Amino acid sequence: MARFTRFGGSVLVYACFIIFAVVIGLPFYFIFISSITPSSELFNIPPTYLPSAPTLENYLKMTESIPFLTYFRNSLIFGIGSSAVSVIAAGMAAYALARIRFPGSNIIYLALILSVALPQIAVLVPMYQTFNSFKLVNTHHGLIIMMSSLMLPFTIMTLVSFINQVPAEIEEAAYIDGANTAQIILRVVLPLIRPALFTMFLINFIISWNELLYPLVFAHNVDTKTLSVGLTELTDPGSTYTKPWDQMSALSVFMIVPVLLIILFGQRMIISGLARGALK
Amino acid sequence: MAAQSRAAHPPGRFSRLTLRQRFYIVAILLLLPAVALRVFTAFYPFLQTAYLSLHKYNPAFDHNGPVFVGLNNFARIGSDPVVQASIGFTILFVVGATFFQLTLGLAVAHLLNAAFRLRYLARALVLIPWAIPMAVAALGFRWMFDDQFGIIPDLLRTIFGVQARWLIDPNNSKLAVVSVAVWKSTPFVALVLLAGLQGIGRDLYEAARVDGANAWTCLFYITIPMLMPILITTGMFMIVWQLAVFDLPFLMTGGGPGFSTTVIAQKIYLESNSLNYGYAASISMVLVGIVALVGVVGLYLFRRFDVSA
Amino acid sequence: MGKDEQSKGVKRGISRRMFLRGTAGSIAGALAASGPGKFMTQGMFAPRLIRQNNTVIFAIQTFAHEAIQSVLPQFEADTGLTVQLEGGPVTGNEMLTSYSPAFASGTSPVDLFSDADDSSPTFMGAGWVKPLNEIIPQETWDDFPPSMQDHIRGFLSIDDVPYRIPHEFAVGYFFSRQDWLSERGLTVPTTWDELVEVGKEVTDSANGVWATTDALIKPALLYVYVAYLAVQAGGKVFEFDDGTAQALQFLYDMIHTHKIFPEESLNQDYTAQNALYMSDKVWFMRQWPFFQGVAEDNAEWYAPEKLVISLPPAGPLGSKSWIGGWGYSIPTYAPNPDGAAALIQYLTSNAVASQLAAQQGFLLTPRYSILEAMADTDDELIAAMGMYAENDVFAPRAFHPRVAEAQTVVDDMASLFLTKQASLSEVLEQGKQLIAALDQ
């Protein structure tokens, strides 16, 4: 009986997995075949589901349209930098907000969270003025500052709820053993919330990897423009009248792959973090 | 009292006076980077936006700088036919998408947490929609929903016999845009919830099973209450964030047909692009007001459920 | 029009003669009505950055870099300046998003840039681009034929002072499937009535074959087609007048009454429109010149008789099509204004403009020097330009001081009407109100 239930359960799980994979995968499949189909054969009535003559031509056209490798490097610096800064700053703030009671902590928390409310587009001009006067336009660190700041509120919110989930007794025991705050954060708290930190790092990396508005406005040269800006610069040769879907799909495949690599590589880290958490 | 309830530990833990001052200093140091970043990039621009919202200012026409007009801009919002036409879809888009992102996200999180052989594949797959740049997703779905070239109408026709027009139909286009928003961001919600699920101790479930609880009871009496703080945080964030989203509908349908998929954020974008900085700022302030309301309600719920969790 | 007479006296080839014909009269009339906005320079303080190096930063679409690079060594040798090429956004909206915050902050990331019709009037109105009348020599301006000069005065200038100089030329051409028409013994429709008549005969909706189509998605693309029909009806599109009403009703009838125009086009862009034509599903359509290149690149499909350019079917006013295109501007806050001035003079000089035009369609605009240099090439587009000019087809692009916003109003109103969410009288009424509200 128990075996039957388990079998039934796993059939259900696999059925769910298949539905999940189709819904998730079909649009990506469409993007992928778009990237390997010559543009003249891409759109048919009725639509076709298999590429007739796969080719890498779109990838070549794309790398001729924009300086792909340079933009790729810029995107990496921007993505890793912004997510690292946001996770570190948010982790510190979240610990203080979740564990230390001090006057005004509520107000600071509320202000931090609600500051997400301003639409990015509405504050571009004052931000440009500020960043320009600090010589932060067209620089990687300028972009990282604004992007990590943009992601802070949600990161703090999430990390506060995670830290609250972790029982405080372990820290208390460490205090009694005479450990100082820095030691407690690094040795006790950090390992416990590592899965959450990593998850947030990953999420923030993807957000900044795909961010368009800030780089479009604050990065105007080859040394700082990111791949997302590259997407707006792709054109069919000689024409500004069409969005070249063939090249855009090729570029987006290149933009998705690094993210997949990070998650595949990162899973080990999540799991080991979990194992540690399970020991508690 | 609120501070007391947020902390999951007994009050008075840090009550020794000698320690307290040290803790204040530690707290300030820990908060400093985050607060500094936000002040620099959000609070100062916010003041500027608040200032502009009370002024008429378009650098192309008001060459003598901003002119104070009191609440005129806000009065104009009330009578702006484009704003009026977009309120309905904005609410549908934000609330509808968030609801399905949370429910489907919870379902997907369970799948990702289930012990089955393809779990790691599922965890890698799940990020694909989230990892696709919005511009590409919007344009890709525009092609996929196209009634002549698209695979979605074609598949629905062949498999389910559904004869429908999508992006040129005022109602179906809404459904299509919301579905894409759900498809795109559910993985993000699922991933956050997965991390939350992993934080729930197994012993709770084991104890419940011993007491004869089935999967549904476990879901409603353990999982959801335990996840409530994260569900609220995430739901609140999705609402707030999607209120400011315009790129998906704008690139997928141009806000059309008519105004059927126009969101208020698109109006801010177009007004700012036309340099109507005063008017754009006032619409932004309204949005900020709505967000603040959502935020306060969310925080209230958050505190309540955090205590009970 | 002394220049017109003077040029007429000079015997040149047909392709050069084309713009000498008097489109000037009709254009001037239309322009007089749409009064250009004011421009004020007072209060514009330019915090000029001192650059250590002699770099000139020039932003233009990446596909044009190769052509530009080919003429730069000469310039760099002559002036001692170094030109740094950057890519740029490809739509007017992205152009505005990308540059406005910088310009509004009194700085500029570039010294010279290629700008679009949808964004340029905003930059001009704000005083963020420089007047070019002093910078570009009269000889260069004289190189443009009268219809282009009118276009420059009407859409690229404020109070007769030009702020942008065209390097590209865009006009809606009427392409048709001559092969099918001959086979069926039909001729290209020359009027709206014939378009409907022939259209009903050739449309085969069971097989998804349509008489005509266009790209009618918002933003901007729907406007392009409505404005095209409106000039044929003699309407002023931003006034929602009778001509505009006729244009909207005609489009509505083609889609819903006569069913010769696919409804799906309401959410399609130019890529879809071209794909439909090249999948042998469309008999004739309006499209920008770039389609010629797209079709020729599709070597398996292309044959000259599949893509024959003829005059647009005449509406109540006649056979008309409006013109536009990209052009160069110098930001007011360009860090290296002298370098920018030298570069724009060089790029638009008669000799260099011709060299660029020969390499890249995006840098081809009707100028005597260019047409002379290209007279021997057997180019369909050059021939078509000549034919349209001789038949007085070119109409000016409708101007409004807030052109981007006015276009959005047309987009929105047309979309409401064409998707049956509002009646014609309702959208005309609301359109007028929204346009009036822009002037507040």
Interface of B with A in 27-86 (CB under 8 A): 27, 30-31, 33-35, 37-38, 40-46, 48-49
Interface of C with A in 410-429 (CB under 8 A): none
Whether A127 contacts B45, CB under 8 Å: yes
Query: What is the homologous superfamily of the domain B81-308 according to CATH?
Result: MetI-like (1.10.3720.10)
**How many helices (H) and strands (E) would you count in chain A?**
13, 0
Domain count, chain A: 1
Which parts of A36-67 fold into alpha helices (H)? 39-42, 57-65
Angle between helices A68-99 and A190-210 (to 10 degrees): 140
Q: Is A121 exposed, middle or buried (0-12, 13-18, 19+ CB in 10 A)?
A: buried
Whole-structure pTM value: 0.86
Q: Smallest CA–CA separation between A66 and chain C, in Å?
A: 7
Domain annotation covers residue A81: yes
Domain annotation covers residue A209: yes
**Nearest-CB residue to C412 (from B63, B259, B274):** B259
Q: Smallest CA–CA separation between A165 and chain B, in Å?
A: 7
Cα–Cα distance measured from residue A65 to residue A61, given in angstroms and rounded to the nearest whole number: 6
**Nearest-CB residue to C109 (from A44, A138, A236):** A138
- Chain A residues whose CB is inside 8 A of the C265 CB are none
Cα–Cα distance measured from residue A269 to residue A275, given in angstroms and rounded to the nearest whole number: 10
ipTM: 0.85
What lies within 8 Å, CB to CB, of C185 at 6+ separation is none
- Chain A residues whose CB is inside 8 A of the C279 CB are 43-45
Per-domain residue ranges for chain B? 1-42, 81-308
What lies within 8 Å, CB to CB, of B265 at 6+ separation is A119, A121, B90, B243, B244, B245, B246, B287
Instruction: Tell me which residue range forms the domain holding A88.
Output: 66-233
- Chain A residues whose CB is inside 8 A of the C362 CB are 238-240
Tell whether B213 is within 8 A of chain A (Cβ): no
Q: What are phi and psi of A154, to 5 degrees?
A: -65, -40
Tell whether C91 is within 8 A of chain A (Cβ): yes
Judge: B275–C264 Cβ closer than 8 Å, yes or no: no
Cα–Cα distance measured from residue A273 to residue A196, given in angstroms and rounded to the nearest whole number: 9
Tell whether A167 is within 8 A of chain B (Cβ): yes
Domain annotation covers residue A92: yes
Cα–Cα distance measured from residue A278 to residue B13, given in angstroms and rounded to the nearest whole number: 25
CA dist list (Å): B288 to B241, B281, C167, C394: 11, 10, 43, 48
Q: C310: which strand partners?
A: C174
Q: What are the tens digits of pLDDT across the range B92-128? A: 999 999 999 999 999 999 998 888 888 878 888 888 8
Assign residue B255 a region (left: φ > 0; alpha: ψ between -120 and 50; beta: otherwise).
Answer: left
By three-state DSSP, how is residue B182 classified? helix
Whether C148 contacts C367, CB under 8 Å: yes
Q: Which CATH number characterizes residue A187's domain?
A: 1.10.3720.10
Cα–Cα distance measured from residue A13 to residue B114, given in angstroms and rounded to the nearest whole number: 8
Per-residue pLDDT of chain C (440 residues; tens, 9 = 90+): 333 433 333 333 333 333 333 333 333 333 333 333 322 222 233 333 444 468 999 999 888 899 999 999 999 999 999 999 988 888 888 899 889 989 988 999 999 999 999 899 999 989 999 999 999 999 999 999 888 898 999 899 999 999 999 999 999 999 999 999 999 999 999 999 999 999 999 999 889 999 999 999 988 899 999 999 999 999 999 999 999 999 999 999 999 999 999 999 999 999 999 999 999 999 999 999 989 988 988 889 999 999 999 999 999 999 999 999 999 999 999 999 999 999 999 999 999 999 999 888 889 888 989 888 887 777 888 888 888 988 989 998 999 988 889 999 999 999 999 999 999 999 999 999 999 988 76
Residue B236 DSSP code: H
Cα–Cα distance measured from residue C179 to residue C325, given in angstroms and rounded to the nearest whole number: 31
Number of Cβ atoms within 10 Å of the Cβ of A239? 21
- Chain A residues whose CB is inside 8 A of the C65 CB are none
Q: Is A107 exposed, middle or buried (0-12, 13-18, 19+ CB in 10 A)?
A: exposed
All domains of chain C in start order, with CATH: 13-169+325-395 (3.40.190.10), 172-322+402-438 (3.40.190.10)
Cα–Cα–Cα angle for C144, C149, C154, rounded to 5 degrees: 155
Tell whether B78 is within 8 A of chain C (Cβ): no
Cα–Cα distance measured from residue A154 to residue A209, given in angstroms and rounded to the nearest whole number: 17
Q: Which amino acid is at A206?
A: I
Cα–Cα–Cα angle for C295, C300, C302, rounded to 5 degrees: 35
